Structure 1
Amino acid sequence: MIRKMTLAALAAVAVFHVAVFIEYGTLWVGTLAGYKELLLVFAFLLPTFWAHAPIARRFGTDRLPTLPATAKALLEGGSVVLVSLVFWVVFFSFPQHYLVPTAEVTPKALRLSLAVSAVLSLFFYYFVEREHSRQKLQQEGYRVTQLQKETLQAQLEALKNQVDPHFLFNSLNVLGSLIHLDADRAVQFLGQLSDVYRALLAAGAHPLVPLRSEMALVRAYAQLMETRFGAALRVEWDVAPAWEDALVPPTAVQMLLENAIKHNGATPRKPLVIKVSAADGMLVVENNRQSRTDAVASTHLGLQNILRRYHHLTDRPVAIVPTPASFVVRLPLLTAPAV
C-alpha cells in the first residue's frame, strides 16, 4: 500500500507540473489554491493504481487461455480505459459539476481531460503495473527453476547413495550370504533391491509427488534395510490412507530413513527403531539415537536439501527436533502443488 501511495504521489506531481507547463509555460503555480488540482490528480491516480493490480492478475499469462492473444490484449486495454472513465467521473466530472458549480468548463476541456485520463491510465498500467508483474513472473520462473534443480539434486543424491560402492558391496555381501543360508530370502532381497531402484526412477523430476508414491519407495527401502540388518532394525508405520493424496517432495522421506540408518548404531539387543507417522498435516519421522562404533561424519546435505525444497514450495516450516534420546523431523504435508 505504501508503495502504491508513494508512486501515485510522485506521478501526480509529475503530471500536474507537466500540465501547468503546457498551459502557462512555467512549472510554478502562482497561488497555493492552484495546487488543489494536484489533489484531484492524486485522488485519481491512487485508486487507478490499486485497480490496475487485479486487472493485471485477471489477464495474466496463465489466465483466459482459450481467448486469442489479440482479443485478450484489446479486452485488457478496454478494462483499463473503463476503469479510468469511472474514476474520471468520480474525481473530475462530478466535482466540477456539483461541488464547484460556478466553474466554467467547456465540453472541449472535458473531452480533453477524459482523453488524458485514459492515456495516463494506460501509460501507468503498461509501464508500471505490467512491468511489476513481469518482474514477479521472472522471480516465479527463477523459483520454479531452483525447485526443479533441488528436486533433481535430491534424486541424484539418493541414486548416488544407492549405487555407492560401499552400499553395493554390503548389499551384495548380504545377498551372497542369503544365497547359501536361505535361497528364498535371497530372492526376496534381490526383489527388494530392484524395487528401490524402480521407485527411485519412478519419482521423475516432479517437485511434488503423492504421499502414496513416496511411501512405496520408503517401504521398499525399509524392507531392504530390514532384510540386511535383521533384528537390529525395526521400522514402524502409522500412516492412515486418508493422507495418501497429500503431497511431499520426492525422496524426502526416504532420505530421512537413510540418514537415520547412516548415523546410528544398531544391534539385535539394541535395535534402531524408526517410526513413520502422519498426523495434523505433518509427516513425522522419528528414530532413537544410538552412537556408532565407527562414527560417520555428517555433511547435513540431505537435510539442507529438504529444507531448501520446502522453502521453495511453502511457507510452512520443516521442524527438526534433536534430543539426546531421539531425532525427530516433521515434514509438512501439502494439499496442492505450490508451483
Structure 2
Amino acid sequence: MIRKIALAVLAATAVFHMAVFIQYGTMWVGAQASYRQLLLLFVFLLATFLIHAPIARLFGPARLTRLPASAKALVEGQCVVLVSVAFWLLFFTWPQHYLVPTADVSPKVLRLSLAVSAVLSLFFYYFVEREHVRKNLEQELYRGAQLQKETFQAQLEALKNQVDPHFLFNSLNVLGSLIHIDADRAVQFLGQLSDVYRALLDAGAQPLVPLHREMVLVRAYAQLMETRFGAALRVEWDIPSAWEQALVPPTAVQMLLENAIKHNGSTIRKPLCIRVTAADGLLVVENNRQPRTDAVASTRLGLQNIQRRYQHLTDRPVEIVPTPAAFIVRLPLLTAPAA
C-alpha cells in the first residue's frame, strides 16, 4: 500500500507539472485551484493503482483459459480502459464542480483529459502492475523448481540409503537367517523389503502427498525394521482419520524414522521406541534417545532437506526439539492450495 501511495504521488506530480509546462510554458502555478486539480490527479492515480492488482489477478495465467490469448489480451486492455473512464468520471468530472468551481473546462479539454487518463492507466498497468506480476510469477516458478529439486533430492537420498551396501548387506543377512529359522517370516521380510522400494518409487515427483499415502511407506519401512530388529524396536502411530488427507512432503516421515534408527542403539531390554502422531495441525515423530556406542557421524542432511522443502511450501517452521531423554520433530500438516 505504501509503495502504491508513493508511486501515485510521484506520478501525479510528474504528470501535473508536465501538463502545466505544456499549457503555460512554466513549471510553477500559483493558483490554488490548480493544485486542487493535482489532488484530484493523485486520487485518480492511487485508485487506478489499487484496482490494477485485482484486474491482473483476474486475467492471470490460470484464469479465463478458454479464451484465445489475443482475445484475452484485448478484453484485459478494454477492462483497464473502462475502469479508467469510470474513475475519470468519479474523480474529475464530478469533483470539478465542487473543488474547482471557477474552472472553465471546454468539451475539447474534457475529451483530451479522458484520453490522457486512459493512456496513463494503460501505461501504468502494463509497465508497472504487469511487470510486478511477471516478477512474482518468475519467483513462484523459481520456488517451484527449487521445491522439485529438493523433492528429487529427498527421493534420491532415500533410495540411496535403501540400496546402500551396508543396508542391503544387513537386510540380506536377516533374510538369510530367517530362511533357516522361519521360512514364512523370510517370505514376509522379502515382501516388506519389496513394499518399501515400491512405496518409494510410487512417491513420484509431487511436492506434496496425502498423509495416508506417506504412511503406506512409513508402515512398510517400520515393518521391515521391526522384522530385522525384533523386540529391540517398537514403532507406534496414532493418526486420526481427520488428518489423513492433510499433505506432507513425500518421504519426509520415513526419513525421520530412518534417522532415529540410524543414530540410536536398541536392545530387547532397552528398545528404541518411535511414536508417530498427528494433532493440532502437526505431525509429531518422537523417539527416546539412546546414542549408539559406535556413533554414526551426523551430516543432518535429511533434516536440512525436510526444512528446505517446507520453506518452499509454507511459512510454518519445522520444529526440532532435542532433549536429554527424547528427540522430537514436528512437521506442519498442510492443505491443498485453493484453486
TM bucket normalised to smaller: over 0.9
Conserved? CA contact 1:314–1:338, under 8 Å: no
Q: Distance in 1 between matches of 2:24 and 2:160?
A: 75
Conserved? CA contact 2:264–2:290, under 8 Å: yes
1:284 paired to 2:279: no
Could you give the per-residue CA deviations for residues 219-270 of structure 1, whole angstroms, max 9, x where no partner exists? Answer: 0000000011011101012112232211110000000000000000100100
How many residues align? The count is 339
The letter of the residue matching 1:172 is: L
Residue equivalent to 1:152: 152
Residue equivalent to 1:269: 269
SS in 2 for 1:277: strand
Q: Distance in 2 between matches of 1:258 and 1:68?
A: 51
The letter of the residue matching 2:29 is: V
Q: Distance in 2 between matches of 1:328 and 1:98?
A: 67
The letter of the residue matching 1:60 is: G
Could you give the per-residue CA deviations for residues 35-90 of structure 1, whole angstroms, max 9, x where no partner exists? Answer: 33222211110111001111111110111111222221122111111111121112
Q: Per-residue deviation at 1:313?
A: 0.7
Deviation larger for 66-75 or 200-209 = 66-75
Q: Equivalent pairs: percent with the same residue?
A: 80
Residue equivalent to 2:189: 189
Q: Per-residue deviation at 1:99?
A: 4.0
Q: Distance in 2 between matches of 1:284 and 1:212?
A: 15
Could you give the per-residue CA deviations for residues 141-189 of structure 1, whole angstroms, max 9, x where no partner exists? Answer: 0010111011001001100111111101111111111111111111111
Q: Per-residue deviation at 1:294?
A: 0.3
- Which runs of structure 2 are paired with 1:50-65 in the superposition (5 Å)? 50-65=50-65
Q: Distance in 2 between matches of 1:322 and 1:219?
A: 24
The 4+ residue runs of structure 1 with deviation greater than 4 A are 30-33
- Which runs of structure 2 are paired with 1:282-321 in the superposition (5 Å)? 282-321=282-321
The letter of the residue matching 1:105 is: V
Q: Per-residue deviation at 1:316?
A: 1.7
SS in 2 for 1:327: strand
Residue equivalent to 1:253: 253
Q: Distance in 1 between matches of 2:27 and 2:98?
A: 29
Q: Distance in 1 between matches of 2:26 and 2:150?
A: 59
Q: Distance in 2 between matches of 1:169 and 1:175?
A: 10
SS in 1 for 2:64: coil
SS in 1 for 2:328: strand
SS in 1 for 2:19: helix
Residue segments in structure 2 that go unaligned for 5+ positions in a row: none
SS in 2 for 1:297: coil
Conserved? CA contact 2:33–2:99, under 8 Å: no
Normalised by the size of structure 2, how large is the TM-score?
0.97
Q: Distance in 2 between matches of 1:27 and 1:150?
A: 57
Residue equivalent to 1:225: 225
Q: Per-residue deviation at 1:317?
A: 1.7
Q: Distance in 2 between matches of 1:173 and 1:59?
A: 61
- Which runs of structure 2 are paired with 1:56-205 in the superposition (5 Å)? 56-205=56-205
Residue equivalent to 2:214: 214
Q: Per-residue deviation at 1:337?
A: 4.4
Describe the shift of the 1:180–1:211 C-alpha distance in structure 2 as closer, same or farther (beyond 3 A).
Answer: same
Conserved? CA contact 1:313–1:338, under 8 Å: no
Conserved? CA contact 1:320–1:330, under 8 Å: yes
Conserved? CA contact 1:174–1:228, under 8 Å: yes
1:25 paired to 2:30: no
Deviation larger for 295-304 or 77-86 = 77-86
Q: Per-residue deviation at 1:338?
A: 8.0
Q: Distance in 1 between matches of 2:277 and 2:95?
A: 65
Normalised by the size of structure 1, how large is the TM-score?
0.97
